[in-house]
Every structure is written in structure tokens, then in C-alpha cells.
Amino acid sequence: MNKERIYLDHNATTPLLAEARSATMQALELPGNPSSVHEEGRAARAVVEKARRQVAQLVNADPAGVVFTSGATEAAATVLTPHFKMGKADLTVGQLLIGAADHPCILAGGRFDPRQVTRIDVDHNGQIHLQALEGALAGQDEASRPAMVCLMLANNETGIVQEMGLASDIVKRHGGILVVDAVQAAGRIPVDLKALGADFVILSSHKIGGPKGAGALVCGSEILRPVPLVPGGGQEKGHRSGTENPAAIAGFGAAAEHVTARLADDPERIAELRDRLEFGILKKCADCLIYGAEAERLPNTVFFAIPGMKAETAQIAFDLAGIAVSAGSACSSGKVGPSHVLAAMGFDAEQGGIRVSLGPETSTGDIEAFLSAFEGIVSNRIAAS
């Protein structure tokens, strides 16, 4: 990464950690297939299994529950299905309930028929309307099939952390299956599969400083598993076929171990930088709107709007000033459009917002450089008005 530039877009991807790079490079030297029984194959298998333990520790899960995938999108497509196995018996899920502000890979509904998918509204602070969730699940109680509820623990645009406890209680009271999208939360706040009451957790490697192209579906039980999205040779104990990628998986595991160890200190330090950033924004532009300011948020995320300036215009200005930020999510191949997250929260989706997401290497100097550039951008807005 160009050291002359300042990278403040960690929610899009976190630069590769040194530990992850080292583990990846070492795994690339291994010639064996993890499914082979000879010495070379066993060495590759050992790398995969070590990473499985490391990823499991990140979310307080059993390593046997970790199924490696090509990323979080594949993990979501795997678990969002009406077709499950409960032990050896078939189990059919009748309905999928998702949050209106969830990630596009969740909003796509996986393998459910669109008629089986219901979006649950969120309030002005990005929290799920619990009464609506309760009502939707109560209606499903009349059927013989359980419902699935999938919610983001932390929103990728706003950083708002979902109040998962009450939602989890409602889901369990109605016999539902709870899937937690922890892609943005993992490594930034503690994530505990058991404490969340989750049946499944979705993770991504590159959001925590691992290599791109690896993710995981973490299952809370050996009994309840989705019918495989990718059938074939039976890798990952039959839950995801295709030869594993030991290099990417090793880097994922190393990153998971690193961020798990840093969870005691990093969130507080980064939150202090985030608060410094927000104070500076409002000091230099009192009419700026910080989305979700009244809600619990990730310690690293600020999502704000500059009145009278389109988000993409501000993003380009920051880029020209040598600072990488985003205008919302980076999940649509560089396309910038109205934010469905802001629309769901009742804000002007066309106005959009600038997302600043900090990382482990972000410094006070980076924050000051951002605020200096921001002051110039706001001054230009005033001069042009």
C-alpha cells in the first residue's frame, strides 16, 4: 500500500496483516492436496485444521462447526436455504426473515423463493422492529415448518450494532433458526456464537486482515446443517465440496488469531480515534449529519453526510487529497447509488454518505490529515454555494 496515502476504508477490506501474509506464503510452498493421505497431503491438511481452530476461537465455537468457503457471500448462499438436514432427517424451512438494512448478499435471499422472503423494517437508529419480527414469526408458528431469521450484527455502512439479545430471544421462542452475519463485527467487537444464541455465523477473511477469497460458515451444531450449495467430492466433511485453498485459509486463520488477541485493547483505542474524528467533523461543519450517532456502533466506523454535497463528489475530493474513504458500501463493483441502508432508516438515500472506517494501523496523524482535507472540501462547498 502507498504509504503516502491514508487508508480509511477498512470496512471494504482491511489490508493484509503481516501474520496473515506470512502464513499464506508458507502455505503456498506446500505441494500437497489436503485430501491426500500421503505426507504432503497431511501437511496441507494440518494447515487447514489449524486455521479451523483459529477461526473457531474468534467466535467461541467448536472447530468442527467451521466450514470454509470462498467468502462470506458463498457462506450466505449456503446457509440461506429452505433445505436442511437435522441429523439424517430432512428439514424444510418455511420462510426467511431478513433486516431491511442487511447486506445485499443477504437481501438476495440465497436459495429461497422470493415469495418466501420477508424484509423486516428497521427504525431510525437501524434497529430491527421487534414487534414486526414477532408478528412475522407468530404467523409462521401456524405452519409446520420453522422460520429462519438472518440479521447483521453490525451494519457495513453505518457501523450500527444490532441489539441481538432481544431478537434472538424472539427467534428462539418461536422455534426459529438464527443466522448472524458477523462479517463486519468480527475482530472489531467480541463475537460469541453461543452468547448470541446463533445457530450459524457468517465470517469473511479480508475484513479482519486475512487474504481475499476465504470465508466461513460457522455452525453451532453438528446436527443441523444446510444441504450443500456446492456438492461434489465431499470436502469439508461433505458440507462444501471443492479442494480447499490452504494458502487463503491459513492467512484467514492467522488473521483470526491476531485480532482475537487484540480484542482486549484495539476497540477502545480505535473508538477514541473515531470520537476525535467525529468531534472534528462537527466542529468544522456543524450541519453535517452523522448517521446512527445515537445508536451503539462499531468503534471504527463513522458514516456522515455533508449537506449540499453528493457523497460521491466528496469521495472523489478525498481521493484526490490522498485519502481513501467510501461513499457507502463497496459491494457493487465500484457502483455508487442510493443507499438502501439509509432508505430503510428513513433518511434521504440519494444524499448518501461518506463512510470512514478505521483500522489497527490508523494513527492520530491520519485523523488530523483527514480533518485538514475535510476542512478544505467543506470550504469549497461553501464557496460554490
Residues, the chain: 385
Out of 150, 219, 288, 331, the active site residue is 331
String of DSSP letters for 314-327: HHHHHHHTTEE-BS
156 φψ region: left (φ > 0), alpha (ψ -120 to 50), beta (else)? alpha
Q: DSSP E strands: which ranges in the chain?
A: 6-7, 66-69, 83-86, 89-92, 95-99, 117-120, 147-152, 177-181, 200-204, 215-219, 224-226, 289-290, 301-305, 323-324, 354-357
Residue 204, C-alpha cell as written in the block: 469473511
CA 69 to chain centre: 15
Question: Which residue, among 271, 302, 272, has the nearest Cα to 374 in the 3D structure?
Answer: 302
Phi-psi region of 30 (alpha: psi -120 to 50; beta: other; left: phi over 0): beta
- 288 flagged as catalytic: no
Q: Measuring CA to CA, which residue among 36, 53, 70, 73 is closest to residue 245?
A: 70
Look at strands 224-226 and 83-86 and give their pairing.
antiparallel
Q: Which residues are registered as beta bridge partners of 122?
A: 128
Residues 6+ apart with CB under 8 A from 66: 52, 55, 56, 216, 217, 218, 219
Residues serving a catalytic function are 331
